[in-house]
Chains A and B, each alone.
Chain A
Amino acid sequence: KNLINRSMRDLNGMLIVFFGIILRIVFFQCKGIVVYLQRRIEFNTPANSWSAMSEGIHLSQEGSSPYQGSVFHNQPLLLACLSSLEVLSERLNIDLCFYIILICDIVTAFSIFKCCELYVEKTIQKEKVNCSVFDKEAYKLLGIESKDPDAVAKLGLIIFLFNPFSIITCICKSILPIELMLHSRLLLFCIRKNYLGAIFTLSLSTYLFFFPICLWLPVCFHLVSHTKSSTKDILFNILMNAALLSCWTTVFIMISYYLCNYSWDFLTQTWGFQYFIPDMQPNIGLHWYFYMEMFDQYRQFFINMIHALTFLTCIPLCWKFQEDKIVPIFSGIFLIAIYKSYPTFGDMSLTLALIPMFSHSYCLFRNTTFIVLLCLACIPGIPVMYHVWLVTFNPNFFYAMTLVYGTALMLLWSDILFAITKRQFWMRNGLVFPKNEDKKSMHLVLS
């Protein structure tokens, strides 16, 4: 009976994945919609749009360096792979690059499934082992024992595959699904404690997209063993992991240097482009209008400041969440989705799908209604206000909507963090406080 249940569950999962694939292929056949969506700025930025990629492929096939111009901003390794795929697809007359991006989406979906399942299972086991530490009543209410890992994982799968943003990102053929695949694989390798896989994926992701550099320290922390080794050992392990990461990234940079005919101009156009934000094409992030209206003297200062917020945020979180080391990594992926230089709507599809991992803290989310209402207001509002900009020459409406979107995501992030912390507190200290002299119950306050 258990076997039948398990095979039914697998079949359900397979059906979900199958329908996700069918949806993407069906929508890709409508060429008019695809062409229209490839022009939308909410899904295509200079860093990941397909038109920039095809310009880079065309220039490299003609023999000139695509990094001489200002249109192409992806790494040479990616350019080489996709360029050879394009040559092949011209010969075979099918769009191979779309199918590769579809495969990335499917791999991401599977990774999300496995991440949620494994994380919930591990947390159940860990809390069972440590149940003596926890308060009994709290454990019954807030404990994760009652959650079914499979249901949680399926929820994550459905959220990712049927999220319209991830469907649109896939059919636009943007480079984003590759980044989502690398992030989800990284999370999976970390949960499985697969050292080599995690380090390879993280270094590839940093090489290609620059912002995962903020995940280095959390990942190194996570991969360190949990035995009560001395701080010196822990530090040594962390340094070893960091060194391995740097080695792999250097290998990728050297391959690019060779592919670019021994010139370094690709660094300013790829990593430099992500860091210094020279192209202020509107997107749904906070950077474009900020730097469009910035006084020149302060530009570098503000760039450094906001990037410092992105890169350095996860490091103190590692100390805070010592027991639950996946939270800084998840938080890092979330922050990259909000504060990277050129975000799109597709970045959130992965993080939304990973929220079911923390299904044990659902009841402690405080701002759900508010966040949902904000998103309902700004997500349709952003394309509308973009059109208003074209008509009235006033970008302030569009800018206001992007601010609302940023606020909503940031509220969601802080909500998740506080919910996890609060749950840890309740689990340890019980749901009922000892009463004070007034015979009234105590309140919970951050101090």
Chain B
Amino acid sequence: MLFVIEIITSLLFISTLAQGSSQTDDLFTEELKLKPLPGGFLEAHFQFKTRSSFPNIAHYDLFPLAIGDIITQFHIDEFQLSLTQGYWRHALWGYSPQPTPPGAELWIWFSENPNLDIDKLWSGLTNTLSGIFCASLNSIKSSNSASPQIIFSPRGVSENVDRNRTFLRYATLPREIVCTENLTPWKKLLPCHSRGLVQLLDGIPLYSQPHHSLSVTLRRVCPHSSSPRCTDPVLELTQSILAVFDVSPNSIGEVPLKWSFSTLFKRSITRVCSLATESTVKFDVTEDSDSYKLSPKSREIISENGRNYANYKISEFISPIPGKSKSKSFTLNFNSLSAFKFPTSHATPPAVTSHRYLTGVGEEGGGVTTLITNNLHDDVDLVYMEVLPWATRVYLHTYRLQSSTNKAGIRWQYYRPGRDRLLPYHIETVLHIPARSEISLSYQFQRAHLKWTEHVPDPHHGIYIGSGVISIMSPTNHTAPNYYVIKFYNEALLVTLMTPDFSMPYNVICLSCTIVAMAFSALHNAITRIFSPTPPPSSTPKWKIWMTKVIDIVTKTIEKIKLKLGFKIKQS
């Protein structure tokens, strides 16, 4: 009897232990998705997900301490920081799995607490993040931060659906360059620094690609309860790297195409990260899977979100303990067969594409034109947001929408005008675009003249206008329970400003003060002096007086010399 009770209690204890271990919620998974893109490119998307309990982060063995400190110190609900080099060509490659604009982008949802001073938290946070990631995020100030009104809704679980937008801050630095200095601290946030998929991340081969992006995303998820109301959210930190490799052949006729981890990343995976519950490499085999050969052969094909992936679990290929005879490195090799052909474009073009460019001649002003094309067979409503620096002053009265049909229109617009040196120009528009048509939005701006101390280094390069953000909800009726948001960016623009001569401050002050002093002297003479007659100067002109004096002196010296010489001659 007692034995039975013991077994039951031990079973209960084990079950509670099991419950407890699943409820510690600390989890680390890593995944690499490879996908061929049209045009001879290969997309490599690394995702490292760390989950931790919330609100009190119990231990930092998986979750990075730096991020945990930031969350508590700055009352963060969600944030995303991305550092990107290159532009994701959504018209050619489709939508990005991790959409980011060129340069740096940071958006943060703070906790909805009315006692918080959001401006102070924002500036403190940007400085802290710039220290953690060695990026110059401290140049994010109020003059380039905005609060989007519709875009950037919370991506995770939050208390209310319609949150107060003053707690959201967004800033983009298009000028920011990404280098290996940013990769190193990013890698340090991972629990496994040198085991698992991180071994593939070498700075130099990765950073010579046409597009590479580094991002850190934090949000709250609810993995356990399926009900809409989440009772126990969990913090999820996603660190991802998205790189696009140019794998097209270097010379014409160089078929078959061959690439492998050693040619792409110049590395291979030699060790397994034992802290990771899942460590997988996936290759997208949905299209044309007969025209190439992958080695090692994949042991399973899984289906995710409508696409088929060849799934490789790293632990099956490498033994977890190094030194054992079974361990070897894992490298994926791709060899094209004779039937292989590069897809030049997508079979189905992306739903909505956008292109933005500068217009205008001359340096006093200019214009920005955005083309948005709807390739779907349905009308679409989308949100388009642009944040322009204060130095490009927007003339909203020139904002025009042109389209070939009458049905396209602006449904709603939010415009926050910029203040010189204080606030940027923020335009957020909800547009309705009919099926299979294109609209063009255009407006004019005026270029400001900065003081000589306000110009950035290399001022003749110009200033950047950050990418515009387009966000579509799909499907378009958002009463449906499962919808996802497509977000993509268009091009960043470069605007040259008229620069002063930086070597001239003292000269300019002197010259201008001289002119002002001349005016003042004329005024002073006019006021303090009166005309009065004075005797004329003597009739002999001055030069005659001086000439007589000079001749006098010269003759006297000649006589002196003559005397001396004569005396000498006399003596000799």
Contacts and interface: CB of A to CB of B under 8 A. Distances in A.
- B is bound to A: yes
Interface in A426-447: 429, 433, 436, 438, 440-447
A339 B516 CA distance: 9
Interface stretch (A155-163, A196-204, A252-260, A274-282): A274-282
Q: How large is the interface on A (under 10, 10 to 19, 20 to 34, 35 or more residues)?
A: 35 or more
A407 B522 CA distance: 11
B417 A280 contact: no
Interface in B403-441: 415-420, 425
B501 A282 contact: no
Interface string B438-465: 0000000010111111000000100000
A55 B363 contact: no
B397 to A, nearest CB: 4
Contact of B397 (A58, A64, A317, A395): A58
A80 to B, nearest CB: 17
B535 interface: yes
B306 interface: no
B520 A309 contact: yes
B549 to A, nearest CB: 22
A59 interface: yes
A292 interface: yes
B527 A320 contact: yes
Contacts of A68: 416-417, 419
Interface in B283-323: none
The 5 nearest A-B residue pairs measured at CB: A69-B417, A414-B522, A58-B397, A442-B533, A446-B529
A406 B515 contact: yes
Q: How large is the interface on B (under 10, 10 to 19, 20 to 34, 35 or more residues)?
A: 35 or more
A417 B525 CA distance: 10
Contacts of B511: 399, 403
A396 interface: yes
Given A68-B416, A306-B516, A422-B531, 8 more contacts: A64-B417, A291-B451, A293-B504, A317-B523, A395-B501, A414-B526, A443-B535, A446-B525
Interface stretch (A142-150, A371-379, A386-394): A386-394
Interface in B370-397: 390, 393, 395-397
B255 interface: no
Given A59-B417, A417-B526, A444-B531, A54 B397 contact: yes
Interface in B528-559: 529-536, 539
B391 to A, nearest CB: 10
A445 B449 contact: no
B506 to A, nearest CB: 8
A316 interface: yes
B477 interface: no
Contacts of A290: 508-509, 512
A107 B156 CA distance: 67
B522 A413 contact: yes
Contacts of A414: 519, 522-523, 525-526
Nearest to A49: B446
14 contacts: A39-B365, A64-B417, A68-B417, A68-B419, A70-B417, A278-B420, A286-B515, A292-B452, A293-B451, A293-B505, A294-B509, A295-B505, A390-B363, A425-B531
Interface in B448-506: 448-453, 460, 498-501, 504-505
A211 to B, nearest CB: 15
Nearest to A315: B527
B362 interface: yes
A302 B515 CA distance: 14
A298 B523 CA distance: 24
A41 B364 contact: yes
A282 to B, nearest CB: 7
A403 B534 contact: no
A57 interface: yes
Interface string A348-377: 000000000000000000000000000000
A317 B523 CA distance: 9
Contacts of A407: 515, 518
B449 A292 contact: yes
A94 B529 CA distance: 56
A51 interface: yes
A297 to B, nearest CB: 11
A280 B451 contact: yes
A286 B533 CA distance: 37
B50 to A, nearest CB: 43
Contacts of B453: 296
Interface string A27-56: 000000000000101000000000100110
A51 B365 CA distance: 12
Contact of B419 (A69, A305, A316, A429): A69
A399 B514 CA distance: 14
Given A395-B498, A407-B518, A70 B531 contact: no
A248 interface: no
A270 to B, nearest CB: 15
A419 to B, nearest CB: 11
